[in-house]
Amino acid sequence: MTQTVPARQDIASGREQSWVYFNGDIVRYADAKVGLLTHALNYGTGIFEGIRAYWNERKEQLFVMRMPEHYERMQVNARTMLMKLEPSIDELCAVSLELLRRNAYREDAYLRPLLFKAAEVIGVRLHDVPESLGIVTTPMGDYVGTEGIRCMISSWRRIDDNMAPVRAKATGLYVNAALAKSEALQAGFDEAIMLGHDGHVSEGSGENIFVVRRGQLLTPPPSDNILEGITRATIIHLAREELGLEVQQRSIDRTELYMSDEIFMCGTGAQVAPVIEVDRRRIGDGEPGPMSLRLKDLYLDLARGDSAKYAEWLTPVY
């Protein structure tokens, strides 16, 4: 049976009429407007989060994955950009649930909270610039392939922590990621892997990275200019508690990728994405590895509400 793909104009129309949060009110997406001189649009002065909600057909329930932790991180990140996230964590969670209910999702969805410098002024600075807060929701499937992706080492180095706050999801920093991602896609790969200024593996364009080598699970430490991912922390917990694996957070050299038994990437958008090739070099046997697949299954089971043990990490919508 052929599935009908919604026309582009239908998707756009649906988004225009969806409910969003903007500066203290719940309004239609079409009514949430910013001007061309908005500070964040011109200078990248904003922070954001990505939060997933998973639909469980059997339970007829939508579960939001680790929502308070995302807003807690956003609250901390705001300080790096001289901003303050005014609503409390509880208030932000309540608004997010209300948006998901109003938009009546019965499929996987995504929340994009965005705190940004909103003044319509010309001038590069962070202080004394008022900010705005918005939360948008949208349906979301796979961000990258989860059945095995091909990566390249990007020629673009990961921004260093002394250049900009790499631990924060600041909007302007994603120019770095966009350059790497386009380079990879235009070269025929699925994703980029960025190295830091010292040549150590850092992360993907929007994902943390894990390497399996000699029975150990390795991942770069925060000092290698990575985003301290919530999905990354979840995977480390699952690997240790559910699989009994030793997890080392240490610097990883480029050639260790080529010599690894398995590699996978993870993130809110990417979920758990096994890597089968780096720089046209096959990883392991060229198929998703058993440890990657096991962690992927564990992650999706808990995210969809099928693991009672981790129910506290989920917030039901309905």
Judge if pTM exceeds 0.85: yes
pLDDT in tens, 229-242: 999 999 999 999 99
Residues 111 and 222 in one domain: no
Catalytic positions, written as ranges: 169
| Structural domain harbouring 174 | 149-303
Residue 1 located in a structural domain: no
Beta bridge partners of 155: none
Task: Specify the pLDDT at position 245.
Answer: 92
Residues 63 and 176 in one domain: no
Residue 112 located in a structural domain: yes
Residues 199 and 129 in one domain: no
Domain boundary among 139, 170, 188: 139
pLDDT in tens, 6-64: 554 566 668 899 999 999 999 999 999 999 999 999 999 999 999 999 999 999 999 99
Looking at the structure of the chain, the number of domains it has is 2
Domain boundary among 105, 139, 173: 139
Residues 102 and 166 in one domain: no
Q: What is the 3-state secondary structure (H, E, C) of 37-79?
A: CEHHHHHCCEEECCEEEEEECCCCEEEEECHHHHHHHHHHHHH
Residue 131 located in a structural domain: yes
Domain boundary among 139, 161, 195: 139
What CATH number should be reported for the domain holding residue 188? 3.20.10.10
> Which of 27, 288, 41, 38 is closest to 147 using CA atoms?
288
Query: Which structure tokens are listed for 158?
Result: 């990961």
Residues 134 and 203 in one domain: no
Residue 22 located in a structural domain: yes
